[in-house]
Amino acid sequence: MRGIVKRFGDTVANDGVDFTVRPGTIHALLGENGAGKTTLMRVLYGLAARDGGEIFVGGGRAEIRSPKDAIRHGIGMVTQHFSLVEPMTVAENVMLGAEGGFRLDLAAARELVAQASERVGIEIHPQVRVDSLSVGERQRVEIVKALSREARVLVLDEPTAVLVPQQVELLFEALRRLREQGLAIVFISHKLREVTAISDEVTVLRRGQVAGTAAIGDVDERELARMMIGRLAAGVRRESASAGGEPVLSVEGLEAEDSRGLPAVRGVSFEVRAGEILGIAGVSGNGQTELAEVLSGLREPTGGTVSVDGEPGRIPEDRRASVVGELSVAYNLVLEDLDSYRRGPMLDERAIRRRADELIERFDIRARATDSVQGLSGGNMQKVLLARVLAHEPKALVVAQPTQGLDVGATEYVRSQLLAQRDAGAGILLISEDLEELLALSDRLVVMYEGELVGSFEAAAADVEEIGALMAGLR
């Protein structure tokens, strides 16, 4: 990609970007939210029309105006926001858009899914409908879908977000095999350790421009963070809370079913005390989403009891499904309190604007009150959700995947806010598939597998290999 320019009105998302990936290499693409990396990859995959620059594939100039053009040029991509058809099965989604007429060979499709699943090292059931899958499981389907096509260039956006350490290594082994076969791989991740572990080269984008390109062996993690955000990332230093106060959230023998009516939460019991963070580790699809929904009143339990000292707040797993994209930042910030802003039959627009301006400043949301939420970066969208929930100062807080897909700067901010809430006396249940995040933030840690709690640890003394084995059902 040479001199790529992409504008959105007065905003220049890509400002003369040069990006080269060589055959047989894994090239990491890093950058904060809003840095332009997603836009650059959308241009490459034909999802966005460039305003300037050229694309070359295999030495020849390539005109890419649509994903079909990209696929014909041997480019595959796993996007951040899934492009799956929910009522269809995994196998049908993998075959969707394949050339060869209207006849669908389901047996061949199932075999294709099985082969791709084996290559990437994760198990996918080809006959399961996508609308019955969790967010993490849908991401796995996207990975399988991309690998099932004969791609010479493969773009992977946060592919390890739902994998335990053992599965991450299996994926890395698969990527290394693909690299040995001559595939060019673009690896997008906010986890710097992953980037340094798997990549050969790295390009960092900042404010729409290339901040630097280097061989991985020539830079360390702190230098990469500095290139990304223009300063050394302070990181989050976990200081374990004391024993904690009285329980603010108590769960006893909780049972719940998934959307298919199958058991998803099986006899779960735990307590979250005031002034502590209890982390729940587990691979996506093991009951964590259903647990969070029960605790937030979004799903009816089938057994057990839940006791809460105050209504629990919830920061949801899928941030885009928890905001109204067409509405402004201001309206999304007060969405749960609209009755408080009524003046007779009308809404008090001035009061909503004052409240929004206050929360925008307090939570460092990089947007105006009148901006549409759907135009925000993932980090700023997450700040909107944080502001909406934390403004109520909940005593109990249920948090699901709070930094999934966020860059270093936004991740640092979200984590610092959670620690501040803990220090202010809130009890926080933190559900995350990022084990490093759980160890950085939690005071205590439990592991969830097939709907049950299978292990408990003091986070400061936790054994990562033991936790990973429990997450994978190996012990």
pLDDT digits (tens, 9 = 90+) for 51-80: 999 999 988 999 999 999 998 999 999 876
- CB neighbourhood size of 10 (10 A): 5
Confidence of residue 32 (pLDDT cuts 50, 70, 90): low
Confidence of residue 458 (pLDDT cuts 50, 70, 90): very high
pTM here is: 0.58
Task: Find where tokens 């198990």 sit.
Answer: 123
Q: Please determine, for residue 368, whether its predicted confidence score (pLDDT) is greater than 80.
A: yes
pLDDT of residue 237: 41
The dihedrals phi and psi of 212, each to the nearest 5 degrees, come to 165, 155
Domains of the chain: 2-229 (3.40.50.300), 234-312+394-475 (3.40.50.300), 323-392 (no CATH)
- Point out the least confidently predicted range of 44-58, 230-244, 307-321, 403-417: 230-244
Among 172, 124, 161, CA closest to 144? 124
Q: Please determine, for residue 216, whether its predicted confidence score (pLDDT) is greater than 70.
A: yes
Among 68, 411, 395, CA closest to 233? 411
pLDDT in tens, 382-422: 889 888 888 888 899 999 888 876 777 778 888 999 999 99
Confidence of residue 116 (pLDDT cuts 50, 70, 90): confident
> Cα dihedral angle (325, 327, 329, 335), rounded to 10 degrees?
-100
Q: Please determine, for residue 289, whether its predicted confidence score (pLDDT) is greater than 50.
A: yes
Higher-confidence position of 113 and 186: 186
Kindly state the average pLDDT of the residues 96-119: 73
- Point out the least confidently predicted range of 314-318, 347-351, 383-387, 453-457: 314-318
Rounded CA separation 155/151 (Å): 10
Kindly state the average pLDDT of the residues 220-226: 77
Higher-confidence position of 148 and 172: 172
Rounded CA separation 185/11 (Å): 29
pLDDT of residue 97: 66
Encoded tokens for 440: 């950085």
Strand order in the sheet with 263-273: 263-273, 247-257, 303-308
